Structure 1
């Protein structure tokens, strides 16, 4: 027994020393990102953000940080990365530098498009601190998730998602309770146009609001990161006072993919929100966890995409403005994703069978005319173009789109973006090298590295808006937001399909005109989660109806309505459904501007 006890104590000591002798570095937490950028759009799959060298073909400045070690000595280095375009080897090459000296291996060219740990060999750490840097070698989107140093013999870091998440949280000391943000009347998750308008509306009704956004800017698809213009009419509104906050957010119409970032009004949007004394704004925070009691959400937990600080938001009511329906999904809300069949909905525009087809994701881009001739490298790893098929344009518009049921817009967001990048870089390389007379002095000036999504989950409410509601102009008693956009359902461009069947990246559409119609309030709250509102492209519609409701001015007005409704839920201590059942006249009076509500 004594021998066994000694052996057990020795094993426990080894485990403890092993934990102490790991030095785990999340790259998104680097003190100086240099020219590397943070990408969080695959957080739901990876459990983490990562950084990427988005130089559009020009190597970016090193990312660097200072790392503390328990003691000097020899450590085994592991680097978590991938080859994003392995055809057969991709362009995302980078090196790891320690105290200015490059380690032996070049990463990002493995020929494998799976995220995993790569053995970087033994490195000598001469003190208790070292400067760690990532050196981009190409400018073509090399990426790195984390770096691990260990002096535990024969230790290999885990690759399986569940094991890696547990290991990551342990190394980051995230096992303790997250920081408390406080108690809010309304927690709005998602800082696009819908969520921002939602937060402002609720704030001006006197509610204490948390607005949580997973990027450093507000506006979502209308931000400088994605650069999609606002669509949908406000001046045809059945309720002329609805849409006032949308007008405040509106920075004019710079078009899609304008190379001038300032045209999208990031600073203006932030200034408007920060002027609201009732709003607590949390940027760079990805909500990944929901706490609930039966069918009532009590809190959500988010993690800072750069620092990994976790924070908990308690609330009376929650509004899912994420686009992906993330909060609803985590809470167990009923949802749909893909297309319904004619038999399910009775819609003439629905398909004969239901399927997983969704509208795709766009990464816009633009070039600019310069004074001098510039070059662009050949891109054998990208999509290949020819005289027979190429896209002879100097900037992108909405048609640059990948998805169409070939990819899942949530779980394969990174692959969708990367497919778009391969199309952009491949086409631009063709234009620069084969059409020099036209493009010699044009330079690729901007490419979106964050995808602009159109469709993913739709959370189900007490009413599911459909084609007949829209085309017949049904006016329900709870008809609120006036929508005017056409039924606009994208599909792969036939010529693009001919050359890239199953891998399309260019879209077509057929606009089916509609008369102004109203979206029922019952589409703006969950049918089975008592205290969950939603606004934006993830509201309760069929796929066909979604083709009309999804544009951003319309989504912004949804946010305004939810802010009014949230005020009433607090006033009467009821639920979103309770407002429809018992207090609809008061909600409609507020929307019409007929009443000036007392502060709750």
Structure 2
């Protein structure tokens, strides 16, 4: 009985009906000004909120017109926090004022409480029923406002973190019953690459789809809000059509972070909106799951983060593309999460130089950094390795992880502007900093297969392998060089790669990783699929996640057609699934019962290694054999860092390592041919690389200086001319013995010699 007492007291405390009260949700302000809608932490603190993310310059006021039930004296409360107080940091960077009809209240907000709380703002006299409110930022350093309450009651409002709590519903006049949204074959929760891939793929196969995204833009980590460029090779492996949908919407960023324009938020939305089978719900946060028994989801509930209107989405099938496995967790799906050593969250940033001196405010509340405490931001941007939260709670304290990242970046820029870097950065100013975090790892939902590192490295052949993962097993850890000052929460990471992943053909991730083993109608795609911590290091990049969505969308169409579960697609309908996976990404039908149509403008079918990322061998003169088709002897490493290569990359090995590469080229017609060999020059290459050219009765031997630039277009050098019969095979062997340095092998070309 004693354990129930606090709950009973809370209920009694929350009992007032809050008559003659006005609740204003900050996210409902008609004109947000320069304030940003932050929806990342609703599950932690119960609500979206407005954030004054001005990079040190106060943002424009957010304004709203509010109708009061009557005039008179009202007490004012603002739900906010002092976001650096949890670390006992000096100063209050998130200060702002509340203006009522243009007049600021005496209290300055964002100055009290390490946790979200209702900060008392004194009293205000309301003389007319129509009132204009404004949030007036004072610093530009991430002040935050959840809601404002005007009341004539004596009690302080309850500071609960429940989403759409009863007292808020009453004051906002929300309907008790949610708006029904049904008739869907698939409900997709999460609008990143995996969610977009799933929605587009299912819609084009005739499914009616609801796509729910809690942000105002699509793309997730690959949007302009986070700006992680899209990595992972597509259109290759067992099903080289998979990835064609991803290719339609993926960003064109040349670095990470890139520019706003490069991430193409509008293009992504336009592609989704063009599909008549998709209903898109931006700014909708899914927060509750209704079950039909223990093993089947009946509905997902979401609310509009701008109006708080609640909706109930019903469907036979659901896919969790939230990144955190949120829908699976709420449904009771089996999951796992590494206790420690998880990859963290990043918040990248960028700066530029003005034509004149630019000041930056002192930041005593930020991390106390000097220039030696962080990597100098090359190319004027802080890259992916600005990452923290490795052993922190990625679900219950994501806001704390994000805020620590902000303190780290502001502390670094303060060092550049006001401390030991000041003499070199007089004109430097911040241009962008991600306030939406880029998380990498949390819950991993469990499917019928839990993929691990050994499966990938050993190329374990699952019969349902379908999504090619080509990224190395890339795991992030705190970088010791920069961890000494803040050992409890380092903010710079290092990537440790296991490069034994096949980066050309790709490792085919099995379909059985894409559905829940204990929730019968739940798919998952993205970084919450059924893998372990190590395997996550290769499957988590955006284009790979997008291809998972493509596969799930096609599987959903089979489930809808045959009224079966995702598991039964593998057990009973895999031949049909195999055929769907071979269809072009633009293949479509309006309804499930229609015939599938393939439009004329589909991309050319890529080979097992996908479209070339370098020079296309098919467009070069003569006959070309790339290194992907060559026989390797000994240990060779695949590379693509030196641009201008043929095909998909090149091979390199240490000198005198005992290795060799053997190319075999068949002459298409009889005649005289010039035999060419391609390599990428570098200062660490050997000057005496041995190359042997052989036919059935001819042999040439050469020593090549691979530090010199090849003289023939495409990076080739001539090895000599040979007369060949039609169908005769030329063998070119490049060895490491006696090379005098590293050896590089890219391609072999035979070109007819014109007489």
Secondary structure of 1:70 counterpart: coil
Query: Residue 3 of structure 1 corresponds to which residue in structure 2?
Result: none
Match of 1:416 among 401, 409, 417: 401
Cα distance in structure 2, aligned partners of 1:251 and 1:452? 16
Moved more, 292-301 or 584-593: 584-593
Secondary structure of 2:143 counterpart: strand
Match of 2:564 among 574, 583, 589: 574
Moved more, 365-374 or 52-61: 365-374
Cα distance in structure 2, aligned partners of 1:420 and 1:162? 26
Moved more, 426-435 or 210-219: 426-435
Q: Residues 412-491 of structure 1: matches in 2 within 5 Å?
A: 412-434=397-419, 435-491=421-477
For structure 2, list consecutive stretches of 5 or more residues without a partner in the other structure. Answer: 1-13, 594-755
Cα distance in structure 2, aligned partners of 1:477 and 1:556? 21
Cα distance in structure 1, aligned partners of 2:584 and 2:248? 21
Secondary structure of 2:166 counterpart: helix
Answer yes or no: is the 8 Å Cα contact 2:385–2:494 preserved in 1: yes
Cα distance in structure 2, aligned partners of 1:78 and 1:387? 41
Answer yes or no: is the 8 Å Cα contact 1:55–1:141 preserved in 2: yes
Answer yes or no: is the 8 Å Cα contact 1:234–1:243 preserved in 2: yes
Query: Residue 485 of structure 2 corresponds to which residue in structure 1?
Result: 499
Shift of 1:159: 1.6
Matched residues, number:
566
Answer yes or no: is the 8 Å Cα contact 2:222–2:251 preserved in 1: no
Cα distance in structure 2, aligned partners of 1:214 and 1:61? 24
Answer yes or no: is the 8 Å Cα contact 2:42–2:163 preserved in 1: no
Query: Residue 301 of structure 1 corresponds to which residue in structure 2?
Result: 301
Cα distance in structure 2, aligned partners of 1:155 and 1:404? 41
Cα distance in structure 1, aligned partners of 2:317 and 2:356? 57
Query: Residue 647 of structure 2 corresponds to which residue in structure 1?
Result: none
Moved more, 29-38 or 437-446: 437-446
Cα distance in structure 1, aligned partners of 2:565 and 2:203? 18
Answer yes or no: is the 8 Å Cα contact 1:83–1:89 preserved in 2: no
Query: Residue 121 of structure 1 corresponds to which residue in structure 2?
Result: 122
Q: Deviations over 1:281-304 (max 9, x none)?
A: 110000001111111111111111
Q: Residues 541-560 of structure 1: matches in 2 within 5 Å?
A: 541-560=531-550
Cα distance in structure 1, aligned partners of 2:219 and 2:588? 28
Answer yes or no: is the 8 Å Cα contact 2:186–2:319 preserved in 1: yes
Query: Residue 521 of structure 2 corresponds to which residue in structure 1?
Result: 531
Shift of 1:163: 10
Query: Residue 351 of structure 1 corresponds to which residue in structure 2?
Result: none
Relative to 1, partners in 2 of residues 1:399 and 1:568: Cα closer, same or farther, differing over 3 Å?
A: same
Cα distance in structure 1, aligned partners of 2:219 and 2:438? 11
Larger relative contact order (Cα-Cα within 8 Å, sequence gap ≥ 6)? 1
Secondary structure of 1:203 counterpart: helix
Match of 1:403 among 389, 392, 395: 389
Answer yes or no: is the 8 Å Cα contact 1:83–1:109 preserved in 2: yes
Q: Residues 174-185 of structure 1: matches in 2 within 5 Å?
A: 174=174, 176-185=176-185
Query: Residue 341 of structure 1 corresponds to which residue in structure 2?
Result: none
Query: Residue 158 of structure 2 corresponds to which residue in structure 1?
Result: 158
Q: Deviations over 1:140-181 (max 9, x none)?
A: 0000111111112x2111124359833223322335111122
Match of 1:385 among 345, 365, 369: 369
Secondary structure of 1:280 counterpart: strand
Query: Residue 50 of structure 1 corresponds to which residue in structure 2?
Result: 49
What is the TM-score with the length of structure 2 in the denominator? 0.73
Which has a greater percent of helix? 1
Cα distance in structure 1, aligned partners of 2:229 and 2:410? 23
Answer yes or no: is the 8 Å Cα contact 1:254–1:264 preserved in 2: no
Q: Output the aligned Cα RMSD.
A: 1.8
Shift of 1:182: 2.6
Shift of 1:21: 1.2
Secondary structure of 1:427 counterpart: helix
Query: Residue 232 of structure 1 corresponds to which residue in structure 2?
Result: 232
Moved more, 389-398 or 325-334: 389-398
Shift of 1:391: 3.4
Does residue 1:291 correspond to 2:290, yes or no?
yes
Does residue 1:337 correspond to 2:337, yes or no?
yes
Answer yes or no: is the 8 Å Cα contact 1:392–1:431 preserved in 2: no
Query: Residue 134 of structure 1 corresponds to which residue in structure 2?
Result: 135
Query: Residue 600 of structure 2 corresponds to which residue in structure 1?
Result: none
Query: Residue 359 of structure 2 corresponds to which residue in structure 1?
Result: 375
Cα distance in structure 1, aligned partners of 2:277 and 2:47? 30
Answer yes or no: is the 8 Å Cα contact 2:47–2:161 preserved in 1: no
Query: Residue 92 of structure 2 corresponds to which residue in structure 1?
Result: 90
Query: Residue 346 of structure 1 corresponds to which residue in structure 2?
Result: none
Shift of 1:235: 4.5
Q: Residues 584-599 of structure 1: matches in 2 within 5 Å?
A: 584-593=574-583, 599=592
Answer yes or no: is the 8 Å Cα contact 1:93–1:108 preserved in 2: yes
Secondary structure of 1:169 counterpart: helix
Query: Residue 201 of structure 2 corresponds to which residue in structure 1?
Result: 201
Cα distance in structure 1, aligned partners of 2:252 and 2:363? 37
Cα distance in structure 2, aligned partners of 1:227 and 1:330? 29
Answer yes or no: is the 8 Å Cα contact 1:359–1:454 preserved in 2: yes
Cα distance in structure 2, aligned partners of 1:157 and 1:424? 35
Secondary structure of 1:105 counterpart: coil
Query: Residue 102 of structure 2 corresponds to which residue in structure 1?
Result: 100
Shift of 1:35: 0.7
Secondary structure of 1:147 counterpart: strand
Query: Residue 740 of structure 2 corresponds to which residue in structure 1?
Result: none
Q: Deviations over 1:49-82 (max 9, x none)?
A: 0101110000011111111111110011111110
Q: Deviations over 1:186-221 (max 9, x none)?
A: 001100011001100001001111111111111001
Answer yes or no: is the 8 Å Cα contact 2:230–2:543 preserved in 1: yes
Query: Residue 311 of structure 1 corresponds to which residue in structure 2?
Result: 311
Cα distance in structure 2, aligned partners of 1:594 and 1:143? 46
Cα distance in structure 2, aligned partners of 1:25 and 1:161? 16
Relative to 1, partners in 2 of residues 1:16 and 1:449: Cα closer, same or farther, differing over 3 Å?
A: closer
Query: Residue 252 of structure 1 corresponds to which residue in structure 2?
Result: 252
Shift of 1:269: 0.7
Query: Residue 643 of structure 2 corresponds to which residue in structure 1?
Result: none
Cα distance in structure 2, aligned partners of 1:412 and 1:267? 31
Relative to 1, partners in 2 of residues 1:91 and 1:242: Cα closer, same or farther, differing over 3 Å?
A: same
Secondary structure of 1:510 counterpart: strand
Shift of 1:408: 1.2
Cα distance in structure 1, aligned partners of 2:390 and 2:383? 17
Secondary structure of 2:367 counterpart: coil
Cα distance in structure 1, aligned partners of 2:162 and 2:42? 13
Answer yes or no: is the 8 Å Cα contact 1:549–1:555 preserved in 2: yes
Shift of 1:20: 2.3
Relative to 1, partners in 2 of residues 1:263 and 1:473: Cα closer, same or farther, differing over 3 Å?
A: same
